[in-house]
A and B are shown apart, each in its own frame.
Chain A
Amino acid sequence: MLLNPEQNAMLDGSRGYATRKAMQILVALGEIYGAERMIPVSSVQIAGVSYDNLGEAGLQFLSEMADGGGKVCVQTTLNPAGMDIENWRSLGIQPDFAEKQGRVLEAYSRMGVSTTCTCTPYLTGNRPLFGEHIAWSESSAVCYANSVLGARTNREGGPSALASALTGLTPEYGYHLAKNRRPTLTFQLSTRLKETSEFGGLGKMIGEHIQVSKGIPYIKGIQSATLENLKSLCASLATYGGAALFHMQGVTPEASSFTPPLEQVEVSQPELESVMQSLNDATAAEVDFVSLGCPHLSIHEIEQIARLLEGQHVKKEFWIATARATRQIADQLGYTRIIEAAGAKFAADTCCVVAPIQGRFTAMATDSAKACYYAAAKNKFKTLLLPFDEVVRLALQ
């Protein structure tokens, strides 16, 4: 790779230990993937925040980088933590875990990272523009940034995203280059989708297809899609297919610059139903945990929950996962009061995927296909995928 004098100074250690380590990571990745040079990034989103995933080793590495003088030089936000930073006791988190989680956040904070703790940074002020080069981890947000916003990022891991934050650079390869953003396979829908659960099901179906074929999907036949629909689709595509980018005719900003690829896969209602059914191994009667907010809820979704819960009382453990900033809007608008009066719990800064809840529940109901995957794989829960409103109603039964 060709480095300029300043980048060479970062690599040879003249800019301190942490910057050197960061530059070593970026140069190695650039060499592996054939990048010719480094390009500046304007925004970073870092995964690897929950102590449940990082462990002691991750915490040690982050402390070492903070001790080594690491300081971010672009806007940098964080993924969800393993707990609600203020309200962890009511979610059943142990004090020992809370202490370690606190040390992870402190290390990030010392490096100048905004400890926002959300998987939807684009809803809380870290929202890149069309064509902007960024370095994001958190697979659902990567897919959203590339596809819906038209920004450009590879699927970074936690350490490589941190490396970009500390240097303001990323190696130029992959989705940063226009030639790698072309769709390769058309998915034609012959059914009308409305629910977030259906968009999640579509993401699973397309994801499993491209996991094998390794392409970029071009989706046709969607009449309209809301922000909430698209964030569900992105989470699911990334979880089940490792997808970082898709185009959707009439919806996403780059779609109109391509002609749909000739190779086409038909998506029918029965197929979609059977994909969604494959996530239902729990019965409604078995459900003892209800979770919404994967990815984190928008203020519009919280309003919907408040409307459905007003004046009633939930009979199951019900977590409402969102960014702290979004919950604070809900506080102002009175939704928090209604929801908490109904006995549901806000899980700000965290979610059912990254909190340490293995073994605590038997079966989880959700509207998120992504949450179903991690509930089964990581926490050994049975799952029930339902439309958003029905999830709320089930909590009341």
Chain B
Amino acid sequence: MILHGRSIFQGNAQGETLVTSQPISFFGGVDPEKGIVVERGHPLEGQCIAGKVLVFPTGKGSTVGSYTLYRLKMNGRAPLAILNAECETIIAVGCIIAEIPCVDQLPIQEIRSGSLVQIDGSVVIVIIEDPAIH
């Protein structure tokens, strides 16, 4: 499956997806030292985003969240790439300052958790779709 989106921060990456249908607040919602989602009641609570292609609809919360993405990167706990339905200011600015490839305007409901994907600029190629095979 090949998906075409809009590039927010240009880059190449290949890795396993972690998908949620809920927005993410990086400030307060993600532990900046460990890369673990800590927002209470979030579907990803307790899961680690480090080294994953993180797929979620959009960002939410405080604008300080941009700095959290930067801090995750400095600690080696950032996602490999971010895929959004609609990117907003916090995630866009965070990806630019932390240099994390980011693509939005994607039909994220078509991407399953545990898939292997490749990101090349604004193009997202789902290489292995079924997590069971992968």
Contact = CB atoms under 8 A, between A and B. Distances in A.
B92 A57 contact: no
Nearest to B94: A159
A292 to B, nearest CB: 25
A21 B66 CA distance: 14
A61 B93 CA distance: 12
Nearest to B8: A28
Contacts of B6: 31
Contacts of B32: 55, 57
A157 B93 contact: yes
A193 to B, nearest CB: 30
Contacts of B74: 56-57, 60
Nearest to B10: A24
B71 A57 contact: yes
B63 A137 contact: yes
Nearest to B6: A31
Q: Is the contact region of chain B dominated by helix, strand, or loop, or is it mixed?
A: helix
A279 interface: no
Interface residues of A, number: 22
Contact of A159 (B66, B68, B104): B66
Taking each of A32, A54, A57, A158, which has the highest tally of chain B beta carbons within 10 Å of its own beta carbon? A57
Given A28-B96, A137-B63, A159-B97, A57 B70 contact: yes
A210 to B, nearest CB: 17
B87 interface: yes
Contacts of B47: none
Contacts of B64: 48, 53-54, 58, 157-158
Interface in B59-117: 63-64, 66-68, 70-71, 74, 87-90, 92-93, 96-97, 104
B89 A160 contact: yes
Contact-size category for B = 20 to 34
Interface in A23-41: 24-25, 28-29, 31-32
Interface of B: 6, 8-9, 32, 63-64, 66-68, 70-71, 74, 87-90, 92-93, 96-97, 104
A156 B104 CA distance: 21
Contacts of B68: 57
Contact of B97 (A21, A31, A53, A55): A21
A371 to B, nearest CB: 17
B11 to A, nearest CB: 12
22 contacts: A24-B96, A28-B93, A29-B92, A29-B93, A31-B6, A32-B8, A32-B88, A32-B89, A32-B104, A48-B64, A48-B67, A53-B64, A55-B71, A56-B74, A57-B74, A60-B74, A61-B70, A137-B63, A157-B64, A158-B66, A159-B66, A159-B67
B9 A28 contact: yes
A60 B63 contact: no
Nearest to A58: B67
A79 B2 CA distance: 45
Interface in A144-186: 157-160
A376 to B, nearest CB: 15
Given A29-B92, A55-B32, A157 B63 contact: yes
